[in-house]
Amino acid sequence: MEVNEALIDKLAHLSKLTFSVEEKTEFMGDLEKMIGFVEKLNELDLKDVEPLMHMSDVTNVLRNDAVKGSVSREEALLNAPETDGVFFKVPKVIKK
């Protein structure tokens, strides 16, 4: 992949950043080094290596779901500063 000023300008635009001429030159060098490192990985023979889904064999231990009781609407509305009997009433926060 060719790293040039057009690529740096495109990346700057996409990331909504602005660079000085000196910064562009520095980033071009850094980006070339990073791409070179990744391209170096292409030299490895990986045909017998299976892709990884996770870095370890450990799996999450999740608890079983248990159905539990809940607060009824009437009980919840008892704690409300204002209600219309069905819903909580709150101050308007979006202005037109």
Mean pLDDT computed over every residue of the chain:
89
In the prediction, which pLDDT does 11 show? 92
What are the tens digits of pLDDT across the range 29-72? 999 999 999 999 889 998 898 888 878 888 888 889 888 888 88
pTM score: 0.47
- The correct answer on CATH 1.10.20 for the domain covering 5-41 is yes
**What does the DSSP assignment read for the chain?**
----HHHHHHHHHHTT----HHHHHHHHHHHHHHHHHHHHHTTS--TTPPPPSSSSS-----PPP-------HHHHHHT-SSB-SSSB--------
**Mean pLDDT confidence for 70-95:** 89
